[in-house]
Structure 1
């Protein structure tokens, strides 16, 4: 039983590291606490409760998590500090030992965060001290992670993020996410449709489908991702759906064809490649080769010529010899993709990649990353430039008074409306514009109102 009276008038501060899925979950926690009488702390105000939702995708992410925890403790003396997320799952005891942390929750316990918070808060109020300065922590082994925390929230964003799946059954050699998130699981289509309908009633126009491996949807319920897409497409009031990321081997041609003719699914895909070398893909234990990946990209472009396609690429992984990287570069250069998200490989304890003998040094990783980022800039700029002069519908996001407004077209081109034309009534509205030239920092196309 949660005593909400104990939280009335309290303040909270939230910090999220990592993926869109984490941001969606944190936003849901914030909304729940708000409904219990907790308000978000203002800038410069000390919080009573601090919640840090962590990431552990790289060694740099781990380091940043520790930095954020120390900073939150230092800036909010006496606050009740909760740490959850992937780093909290993988290193529960270590996080619990950080001075100032009160509660650490792994991936299975995250769904019951409010109950754990209430119980621990009551212990503190009753004067019960933790053992030897160690925070209370709860986590289970990967195989025992079974809970699913529903999440459909927007926080301070215009777009809603709907969590449709969690966990992963793909134990790629470089990755710790299955250990941190558990095996693939999902709620029912009916429950997700209900959440999307609620977002529509709240005035939402766009929903992004998030998860760890969302193409694997149906593992729990026996349904399919295509069935989910069709059901969501019928939700009245939601004008746009975007799919956050899909594994290449799980992008069914029927799904691509349906999205091309659908009412609300946008011509926008994000597809993790990781390497454009078949030899490296085998070392990574990825479940596809470059031929399959190329087919998916070209089929998307055949069905949706204006589609924006983002691609994840890892550089400097174990076993990526110079000739394999060159294969990767040439492969990506040959594809009609729009943007590359480039990540230098990071050694993760406990992963089987550590047994691969060939190691790429940090300087070479940076050189390879720089080359791919340059290629990405060229492809993105060309994609934008080809659309100058066209008309497009843009969903605008709120801007500070006197500042330019920004938004995105259906195919994810970032658009800027100058301050002189920005209006409060455009916030969270889809407005027809003509796409002009690039703005001053080349990050957006200028919008001309029709």
Structure 2
């Protein structure tokens, strides 16, 4: 039997969202502090850690494919699975040949202790704490040395129970960091020379609940006001915020701030009130329309991204046309389009009117085409204007890229002196 006493190299891989990315980076630092050497995921390592997503069935499949690939390339290595898939389906993962350890949400950040006790076996993996009721603490996380911008986790979990969503089952109740702790993390990030922080969470606008889920005397508006005063960070972005939690005072603050970028990502999910009701969303399309209008009135150059789900149970052609036409007339910049997939233990699984996969895929294609046109139009509106671009360090075949303050992607021949610097750029 092989144990971890002399196994000192680790490779980590992230599936899913910005929140997962921030947590993987923090796990990397925890392991490096204990003497583990970080390796690229394609290299042979003693330990492989996969931080999983389970928003769609594809994310589950991708995890299983990666495990098989590791088994072929490094059959004697330890494989650890954590993240949302691990929390939701620990027994399913434990049965995958080659997996040694499954860490639920409550044990993810105790990975070092678990690795010290791990022994390679040929049987099922060890499963550690996948009872969602155990998930009450808050673990702050942020990425450093991974890219020009940093994802800073300030909130976790969700108290909403949208009928399609597994996140409350995978991440537990809504809970947040304190403003004091967030500011300390932001100062650490600033000391590392990083120019932009992206605030991440499951339900950012719900910021202010403690590890026990009880409301503190803090809220998201107070958080962004405090962050605006941090020295050394030049740009902040709000990764995603629910339309019913995006208050007018937040919009007004971003409009007047030099540090918070003119960029909102606001989940819609459907442009049909009937479908929004079936989804158990906490708003109707009229509120969404009002938020977009308020943003554009105060910040005309603001980028607005939209999440939308197609093929939800009961979504007729008429409902889909409502969504398409609603998005078409909205002054938004781009879409993230998700094809509905059945998730076990969600309310939506039992709804009537399942949509054939071929129709779901066709609707996805239609909205992705709309997104392409929206982004082209938004970019064209800014042709000839000069905006500030933060360029990333990656040299991609002699090219580099960066984003304007309002999230227009810019590509140009690589220049080392521009990396991690903000450049005035005429579009």
Bin of the TM-score, shorter chain as denominator length: over 0.9
Further displaced range: 398-407 or 242-251: 398-407
Further displaced range: 302-311 or 153-162: 153-162
Structure 1 stretches lacking a partner, 5+ long: 436-450
Counterpart for residue 422 of structure 2: 430
- Picking from 401, 404, 410, the partner of 1:409 is 404
Which residues of 2 match residues 304-343 of structure 1 at below 5 A? 304-343=299-338
Counterpart for residue 294 of structure 1: 289
Counterpart for residue 31 of structure 2: 33
Counterpart for residue 250 of structure 2: 255
- Picking from 234, 249, 252, the partner of 2:229 is 234
Counterpart for residue 47 of structure 2: 49
Q: For this pair of structures, how many residues does the alignment match?
A: 419
Which residues of 2 match residues 11-410 of structure 1 at below 5 A? 11-42=9-40, 45-120=43-118, 124=119, 133-220=123-210, 221-400=216-395, 403-410=398-405
Structure 1 residue 383: Cα displacement: 0.6
- CA distance in 2 between counterparts of 1:322 and 1:233 reads 45
Q: What TM-score does the superposition give when structure 2 sets the normalisation length? A: 0.95
Contact 1:165 1:186 in 2 (8 A): yes
Structure 1 residue 400: Cα displacement: 2.5
Deviation sequence 1:355-384 (CA, Å, 0-9, x none)? 211111011111111111111111100111
- CA distance in 2 between counterparts of 1:45 and 1:313 reads 37
Contact 1:399 1:405 in 2 (8 A): yes
Structure 1 residue 110: Cα displacement: 1.1
- CA distance in 1 between counterparts of 2:44 and 2:324 reads 49
- CA distance in 1 between counterparts of 2:347 and 2:396 reads 52
Contact 1:168 1:182 in 2 (8 A): yes
Structure 1 residue 76: Cα displacement: 1.8
- CA distance in 2 between counterparts of 1:399 and 1:144 reads 40
Structure 1 residue 85: Cα displacement: 0.3
Contact 1:92 1:139 in 2 (8 A): no
Contact 1:89 1:180 in 2 (8 A): yes
Contact 2:90 2:130 in 1 (8 A): no
Structure 1 residue 10: Cα displacement: 2.3
Deviation sequence 1:267-321 (CA, Å, 0-9, x none)? 0010110000000000000000001000111111111100000000000001111
Contact 1:259 1:267 in 2 (8 A): yes
Contact 2:384 2:426 in 1 (8 A): yes
Q: Give the direction of change, closer, same or farther, for the CA distance of 1:13–1:43 in structure 2 (3 Å limit).
A: closer
Tell me the SS of whatever aligns to 1:170.
coil
- CA distance in 2 between counterparts of 1:345 and 1:248 reads 21
Contact 1:214 1:246 in 2 (8 A): yes
Contact 1:111 1:147 in 2 (8 A): no
Structure 2 stretches lacking a partner, 5+ long: 211-215
Q: Supply the RMSD in Å over aligned alpha carbons.
A: 1.6
Structure 1 residue 430: Cα displacement: 0.6
Q: What TM-score does the superposition give when structure 1 sets the normalisation length? A: 0.90
- CA distance in 2 between counterparts of 1:335 and 1:230 reads 29
Structure 1 residue 155: Cα displacement: 4.4
